[in-house]
């Protein structure tokens, strides 16, 4: 009897061990044991979402070729499409005058209304237009030098040709390369005459990137800028809670009066674009409209986190989310921002690969010659749409 009990107990133990080891038992459906080291099981569900977005974007991505400024010409075709059927009439120009600075090209000379709201911006625009004059037909141009676009698709029922440097899909303005590629960009203490000379910044920032290669960059997120909107607050607050993960601080702007304007903290010092290259992750937020700093960040060969997809400049569509930069929804919570930053800090190869693709896209396809090329194609295509004889406006001055 004791021997029988012993055999029963021994059989029970063996049975339990076999079950725990993944072996099949009677009346059970046999399955393959789970390999805990498999690719899918190594990551969290949230990680796999990010991997899927990166892989999908890469599968769908078609690189543009290097013929002229072909990466960007689809934008001007889209912007000019509303005028293709009927062209641009004198009546349209008269309607448009209220929205910008009036220019004329007459007999290969450039004329402008006497007053320009932002002289440095007009100068930056004229720098690109003047070399094109020998081959331009006569035309009227209404160029908006303000930050905000003017021709809303729902408020402006009649076609109105106005050139603006930035817009959202809600606007029908014709985008042109901003004056800040040459001069007239935002003025801060580090750039007292305004951000400009893209050709020089390309060289100085890319050289700074060479001095701080990826492996030597601080593995943290970085942002410096004024509190243009509270959309930036979550990142700044996350920085205060987790300073080893994020360094994001507000600087003064012209409207600063007290620490309340910098989210109840003393304003931080400004940081040069070259010094941004010391950090592995760089955040870009819109300003009043599109951000002038966006293109500069890629030159650091750091990973760019671009917040929001509403505002555009002419070159934005050539940069693809998850291929060239990390898209961040507007007003993401601190928790979402932290998760996104930590994902790329934990997956260094993916972060570095996106950063390198972003750098190459801007370095190879947003050269100063690409900017000039875009101006040339834009004005030539626009000139073909003029449907009236352009007469010299004697109130305009030659520039």
pLDDT band at 42 (very low <50, low <70, confident <90, very high): low
Model confidence pLDDT, tens digit, residues 85-122: 999 999 999 999 999 999 999 999 999 999 999 999 99
276, 222 Cβ separation under 8 angstroms: yes
CATH number for 189-366 (one of 3.60.20.10, 3.40.50.2000, 3.30.300.250, 3.40.50.300): it is 3.40.50.2000
Higher pLDDT, 23 or 67: 67
pTM for the whole thing?
0.88
pLDDT band at 289 (very low <50, low <70, confident <90, very high): confident
236, 285 Cβ separation under 8 angstroms: no
Does residue 147 carry a catalytic annotation? yes
Model confidence pLDDT, tens digit, residues 340-378: 999 999 999 999 999 999 999 999 999 999 999 999 999
Query: CA 297, CA 362: separation in Å to the nearest integer?
Result: 10
Which is the catalytic residue, given 47, 138, 147, 309? 147
Residue 75 is predicted with a pLDDT of: 98
Q: Could you tell me which residues come within 8 angstroms of residue 357 by beta carbon, excluding any fewer than 6 positions away?
A: 323, 324
Average per-residue pLDDT for the chain: 90
> Bridge-partner residues for 130, per DSSP?
none
Mean pLDDT calculated for residue range 131-160: 96
Model confidence pLDDT, tens digit, residues 300-334: 999 999 999 999 999 999 999 999 999 999 999 99
Model confidence pLDDT, tens digit, residues 206-232: 999 999 999 999 999 999 999 988 999
Q: What are the extents of the domains in the chain?
A: 72-185+374-398, 189-366
Q: In the sheet that 139-143 helps form, which strands lie side by side, from edge to edge? A: 174-175, 163-164, 139-143, 101-106, 109-112, 397-398
Separation in Å, CA 100 to CA 111, 116, 122, 159, 318: 14, 9, 11, 15, 27
Model confidence pLDDT, tens digit, residues 166-193: 999 999 999 999 999 999 998 888 888 8
């Amino acid at each position: 009897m004791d021997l029988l009990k012993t055999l029963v107990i021994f059989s029970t133990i063996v049975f339990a061990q076999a079950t725990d080891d993944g072996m099949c038992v009677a009346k059970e459906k046999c399955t393959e044991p789970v390999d805990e080291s498999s690719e899918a099981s190594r990551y969290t569900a949230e990680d796999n979402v990010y991997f899927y977005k990166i892989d999908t974007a890469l599968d769908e991505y078609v690189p543009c070729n290097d013929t002229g400024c072909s990466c960007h010409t689809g934008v001007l075709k889209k912007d000019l499409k509303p005028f293709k059927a009927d062209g641009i009439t004198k009546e349209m120009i008269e309607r448009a005058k209220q929205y910008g600075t009036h220019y004329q090209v007459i007999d290969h000379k450039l004329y402008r209304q006497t007053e320009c709201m932002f002289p440095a911006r007009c100068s930056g625009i004229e720098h690109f237009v003047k070399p094109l004059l020998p081959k331009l037909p006569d035309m009227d141009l209404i160029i908006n030098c303000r930050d905000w676009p003017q021709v809303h698709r729902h408020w402006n029922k009649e076609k109105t040709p106005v050139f603006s440097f930035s817009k959202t899909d809600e606007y029908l303005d014709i985008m042109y390369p901003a004056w800040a590629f040459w001069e007239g960009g935002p003025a801060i203490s580090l750039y007292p005459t305004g951000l400009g000379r893209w050709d020089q910044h390309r060289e100085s920032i890319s050289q700074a990137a060479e001095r701080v290669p990826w492996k030597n960059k601080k593995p943290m997120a970085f942002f410096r800028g004024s509190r243009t909107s509270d959309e930036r607050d979550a990142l700044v607050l996350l920085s205060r809670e987790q300073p080893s993960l994020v360094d994001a601080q507000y600087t003064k702007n012209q409207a600063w009066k007290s620490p309340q304007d910098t989210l109840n903290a003393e304003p931080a010092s400004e940081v040069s674009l070259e010094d941004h290259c010391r950090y592995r992750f760089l955040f870009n937020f819109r300003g009043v409209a599109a951000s002038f700093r966006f293109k500069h960040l890629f030159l650091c060969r750091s990973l760019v986190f671009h917040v929001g997809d509403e505002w555009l400049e002419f070159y934005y569509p050539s940069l693809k989310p998850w291929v060239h930069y990390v898209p961040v929804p507007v007003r993401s919570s601190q928790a979402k921002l932290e998760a996104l930053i930590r994902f790329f800090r934990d997956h260094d190869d993916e972060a570095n690969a996106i950063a390198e693709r972003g750098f190459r896209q801007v370095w190879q396809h947003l050269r100063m010659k690409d900017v000039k090329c875009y101006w040339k194609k834009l004005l030539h295509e626009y000139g073909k749409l003029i449907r009236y004889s352009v007469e010299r406006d004697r109130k305009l001055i030659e520039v």
